[in-house]
A and B are shown apart, each in its own frame.
Chain A
């Protein structure tokens, strides 16, 4: 038995049973070294930050525990006057949102007519998207309407999304797209 090997004679349960007055040998006497060294697994965290749950708009506080640049645990933040440390099943599952095997962390590209994904380098992907953005923008550019009123816009590019990202991110999207003349910018609030 593996555990036997780790026990020194003085730690024999029988001896501990006698020493500890654990007469039935159901308490302290039978605890293993591992049990006696029990501590929360979050003790290993090298970083704990205050965050907010990414699911619904209640805005529950979260404490995110990280170790070696990996999230190891997420739980409710008791300091939050909104949620008082509580999380629903989605919020309680958000560690899995970070670490789920279902997460795709590499860029994928599907070429026209292709049946499969292929890998693509980030720099190249961004260049390709920037080129296509400008081409579509040009192709559908409208300077003015039929009455000669200025339009200054393109209808060649559209975007959908914003309710699950940050205010700062929405700000940049709206700012960039508007300056580029793109107006078809929408998000979940319309849906």
Chain B
């Protein structure tokens, strides 16, 4: 955190001064470790073992927050008797289909109270339906209703609490030592610190970044932390939570108002072909009217969005133009698109402040894919490597590409920067902050707002007279934004549209002030329901700048947080079931008996008049169905999910798998790696054999990639700045003294790092900050690689790109690539150039006997046998 978010770290520094204990768990010793109370090094990719062992520690020592767990989580809920755990099936959960390596989650469902009926997601009753992640928004998994069977004693063998206990029973301190390389003593320090600092009086927070997400099961890493935090009662409370420290100014905003294939604004899913042919199919699948909470109103959010986009063309009789939306057929993520490019099935590509030639996994595939395009538009500040690969990229040097042969047209369109346009960024805690424009962009530079507005105008002009129904959505699109004298659209006008307004009735034209005002009858419009209220009263709430020193610690009058300017989500959980603060020290939101409403230091994240003792009405559905102790109002049953009956495609509870490339065997299961991971078995994406396969000793070391304080991701905003470049001028690798000795590396000399994809060179930093770990009885060496450098000729500094070493394997829930743990070989000295470089890489691959199947066989336990186990134990 100090390394990548130094200014955010001021609060950690302050907490430490006030007595907080800071523990840094990371494969490398960073600038965060330097000022933490303790650094615990672990083997990259072993996090679920560590977190699972903490869960086990909490459960087996009876240290969970009893009242919180019983009332606010699904611990008491009964799960279907058909469910089989990974502990029973050697690493698989019930419902696995080896044909397409995916799960049918039916057996993970809750039992309903009224009978034996399972409570699945609506629309998946039919046999053969499989969990498809791209259909889910953040609210994602829905339930048909919320009338569920419980055992409040938590003793029923099929209740979530017991399932959880059994699932993590083998995640012991000994297992942590064996799998993570963390000593029992260090584990005890961590476990005791967490449990002693959780409860009524104290809370513990987790801060994480892409060290947790960029794995073939990254989403499950976060889920494990969520389970732990729910057990310790650290969610929805001040000083608690699981805090994602995100790396780009509006990376939160670009998922809220998404430029992502699977989402529409506000985490509404993109419609899926066949499943969502009508608006009713679609909204019903997002949230059943009979489930609890605010996703039950998905129809109002969807219709308002369609009204915002298609205006008068969206009417009740045409399903509010729902048919105008394109449909998905599976995943269309950046890596699937890459494959299409390589097959010459994509003509044009826009890069908007993104440098995939350096920043995306398997850099060579990225650059080669771009050479298959007909045209490429790069919008950036400088001539980044993704704009110049056709003349100075590594493949030109290696002879794999010849400039004269490359057909791709490249448009470099200079971008306006943050001072040259007005607009909003959403920072990592959902706070939307407005930026005022200081100056006009120089020369040809223009904002994305202007560029895309202008592009849209020209596209629409060309289609104005078309009678092709395919062009109807573009013709109907609301696209009239006021512009200034330079052609820059008024960003506030766009923000107003995002906020939403009444399109008919007495308040016609007035901005909405809350998403609860949205209707499914076409009387309201709004571009992103969770942002409704950002323009309440016609005022740009994101531009509010009441100085922090004039406010309390919530600082509610600085900018605006979605939803509803709420600073801590699920904050109903900061009070006990009776509505009283858990303690005076952690007082945040509470029920005021006199006023008969929730009050406190924040906007209550709960129906404000819903009394604590209210019982749930299973007939009602939606927010009205919430009980007074259902703080998790976006969950279909109002509870925090220790066990996810739906929504996760690779298991209802996180379980440890080795990374797709790992030099050790999975110490817990026969199933080596995530059996539902997404693989790309291709000749340009070879994987190393992992521990249980021959040839794995050719790539015996683990490498992990990361960032440095002085640079920003792929370097587009740092390597072109002299002041930052001089601070970290060269690509380097970090290794332990023992490893340097082993391989023959000299401090500040050169090393060549070889993976099955490529080989790169880096200066060597021999340092005690990297420590070898003893894992599974073996000495395991890790090589640290910052990934900021790339080869081009326009930046102040250049160097080999670490991402060239990475292969592509994705997490099946969110389609993110694993970048944090992979296998490599290391040689002293600089790498060869030209053809010899390709030969070196090929030579290693031959020695390891790599084929396209290597590392891509997802099922590694005998499937029939595991079925047999089910029979025996069932």
Task: Tell me the smallest distance from the CB of A46 to a CB of chain B, in Å.
Answer: 10
Is B796 touching A97 in the complex (CB atoms < 8 A)? Answer: no
B374 contacts A132, CB within 8 Å?
Answer: yes
Chain A residues within an 8 Å CB radius of B404: 113, 115
For residue A25, CB closer than 8 A to chain B, the reply is no
Q: A135-175 vs B: 1/0 string, CB under 8 Å?
A: 11001110111010111111111111111111111111111
Closest B residue by C-beta to A84: B548
Q: Is the CB of B258 within 8 A of A90?
A: no
Of the stretches A14-22, A31-39, A73-81, the one at the interface is: A73-81
Asked if A184 and B337 make an inter-chain contact with CB atoms under 8 angstroms apart, the answer reads yes
* Contact call B352/A159, Cβ cutoff below 8 A: yes
A13 to B426 CA separation, bound complex (whole angstroms): 57
Query: Is the CB–CB distance between A179 and B324 below 8 Å?
Result: yes
A187 contact set on B, CB distance < 8 A: 251, 254, 258-260, 352, 354
**Residue B717, interface by CB 8 Å:** yes
Interchain CB contact under 8 A, B548 and A109: no
15 contacts between A and B (CB under 8 A): A61-B433, A79-B545, A81-B551, A83-B7, A102-B794, A150-B277, A156-B347, A160-B350, A161-B352, A165-B352, A165-B423, A166-B423, A175-B309, A176-B479, A189-B255
Residues in B whose Cβ lies below 8 Å from that of A50: 435-436, 545
The answer to whether B347 touches A140 (Cβ under 8 A) is yes
Per-residue CB proximity of A60-104 to B under 8 Å, as 1/0?
Answer: 110011100111001000111111101111110110111010111
B418 touches A54 (CB 8 A): yes
Contact of A160 with B334 in the complex, beta carbons under 8 Å: yes
Is A188 interfacial (CB 8 A cutoff)? yes
Q: Check A51/B436 contact, CB under 8 A, given A106-B443, A152-B323, A155-B340.
A: yes
Determine the chain B residues whose CB is within 8 A of the CB of A56 once the complex forms. 4-5, 245-249, 428, 712
Question: Is A7 in contact with chain B by the CB < 8 A criterion?
Answer: no
Query: B353–A161 contact, CB under 8 A?
Result: yes
- Considering the chains assembled together, what is the distance between the CA atoms of A149 and B329 in angstroms? 10
Contacts of B474 in A (CB 8 A): 179-180
* Distance between A110 CB and nearest chain B CB, rounded to angstroms: 4
- Asked if residues A174 and B439 are in contact (CB atoms below 8 Å), the reply is no
A58 to chain B, nearest CB (A): 4
- List A contacts of B638 (CB < 8 A): none
Cβ of A10 < 8 Å from any Cβ of B? no
- Least CB distance, A72 to chain B, in whole angstroms: 10
Residue of A nearest to B353 (CB): A164
Main secondary structure of the interface of A (DSSP, over half): mixed
How would residues 368 to 381 of chain B score, 1 for a CB under 8 Å from any chain A CB and 0 otherwise? 00000011010111
Please tell me if the beta carbons of A158 and B717 are within 8 angstroms of each other in the complex.
no
Kindly state the separation between the CA atoms of A43 and B675 in the bound complex, as whole angstroms: 63
Contact A149 B273 (CB under 8 A): yes
Residues of chain B from 240 to 299 with CB closer than 8 A to chain A in the complex:
245-261, 264-265, 270, 273-274, 277
Q: Are B555 and A47 in contact (CB under 8 A)?
A: no
Which residues of B406-435 have CB atoms within 8 Å of chain A's CB atoms? 406-414, 417-421, 423-429, 431-435
Contacts of A130 in B (CB 8 A): 455, 458-459, 462
The yes or no answer to B841 lying at the interface (CB within 8 A) is: no
- Which residues of B are found within 8 Å of A64, using beta-carbon distances? 419, 438
* B126 partner residues in chain A, CB cutoff 8 A: none
Which of A128, A132, A190 contacts B334, CB < 8 Å?
A: A190
The smallest C-beta distance from A123 to any residue of chain B, in angstroms, reads 9
CB-based contact B248/A164 at 8 Å: yes
Which residue from chain B places its CB closest to the CB of A101 in the assembled complex? B722
A71 touches B382 (CB 8 A): no
Q: Is A178 an interface residue (CB 8 A)?
A: yes
What residues on B are CB-neighbors of A164 within 8 Å?
248-250, 353-354, 717
A172 and B456 contacting across the interface, CB-CB below 8 Å: yes
Nearest Cβ distance between residue A141 and chain B, in whole angstroms?
6
Q: Give the Cβ gap from A57 to chain B, nearest Cβ, in Å.
A: 4
**B723 interfacial contact with A, CB 8 Å:** yes
Q: Is B454 an interface residue (CB 8 A)?
A: yes
Contact A162 B274 (CB under 8 A): no
Q: Does B341 contact A (CB under 8 A)?
A: yes
Interface size on B, residues (CB 8 A): 164
CB neighbours (8 Å) of A185 from chain B are 258-261
Name the contact of A79 in the complex, choosing from B255, B361, B549 (C-beta under 8 A). B549
With both chains docked as a complex, state the minimum distance between the C-beta of B354 and any C-beta of chain A, in angstroms: 4
Q: Count contacts on A: residues with CB < 8 A to the other chain.
A: 119
B814 within 8 A of A: yes
Q: In the bound complex, do residue B436 and residue A58 qualify as a contact, i.e. CB atoms below 8 Å apart? A: no
Q: How many A-B residue pairs have CB under 8 A?
A: 489
When chains A and B are docked, how far (Å) is the Cα of A163 from the Cα of B491? 17
Q: Which of B8, B273, B324, B403 contacts A58 (CB 8 A)?
A: B8
Contact A100 B348 (CB under 8 A): no
CB-based closest 5 A-B pairs:
A59-B427, A81-B548, A161-B352, A166-B423, A153-B326
Determine if A188 and B377 form an interchain contact, defined as CB atoms under 8 angstroms apart: no
Tell me if A158 and B265 are in contact (CB < 8 A).
no
A65 vs B439: C-alpha distance when bound (angstroms): 9
Picked from B252, B270, B440, B796, the residue with its CB within 8 Å of the CB of A102 is B796
B587 within 8 A of A: no
The CA-CA distance from A166 to B435 in the complex, in Å, is 9
| A4 within 8 A of partner (CB) | no
Query: A173 and B724: CB pair below 8 A?
Result: no
**Interface residue A30 (Cβ < 8 Å from any Cβ of B):** no
Contact A136 B347 (CB under 8 A): yes
Bound Cα distance from A179 to B265, whole angstroms: 14
- Do A190 and B260 touch across chains, with their CB atoms under 8 A apart? yes
A186 to chain B, nearest CB (A): 4
Verify A112–B455 contact, CB threshold 8 A. no
Q: Which of A82, A112, A140, A149 contacts B409 (CB 8 A)?
A: A112
Interface contacts beyond A161-B379, A187-B251: sample of 16 additional A-B pairs, CB < 8 Å, sorted by A: A56-B428, A79-B548, A109-B410, A147-B274, A149-B274, A157-B348, A161-B351, A163-B250, A163-B354, A166-B425, A167-B531, A171-B497, A176-B479, A178-B473, A188-B251, A190-B816
Contact A150 B816, beta carbon cutoff 8 Å: no
Whether A89 pairs with B347 at a CB distance below 8 angstroms is no
B444-452, B616-624, B628-636, B639-647: which lies at the interface: B444-452
**Are the C-beta atoms of B498 and A168 separated by less than 8 Å?**
yes
User: Is B165 among interface residues, defined by CB-CB distance under 8 A?
Assistant: no
Residues of A within 8 A of B446 (CB): 122
Question: Do the beta carbons of A174 and B258 come within 8 Å of each other?
Answer: yes
Nearest CB in chain B: distance from A64 CB, A: 4
State whether the Cβ of B815 lies closer than 8 Å to any Cβ in chain A.
yes
Q: Is A126 an interface residue (CB 8 A)?
A: yes
Q: Which of B333-377 contact A (CB under 8 A)?
A: 333-334, 337, 340-341, 345-354, 356, 359-361, 374-375, 377
- For residue B501, CB closer than 8 A to chain A, the reply is no
**Is B401's CB within 8 Å of the partner chain A?**
no
Cα–Cα, bound, A182→B333 (Å): 12
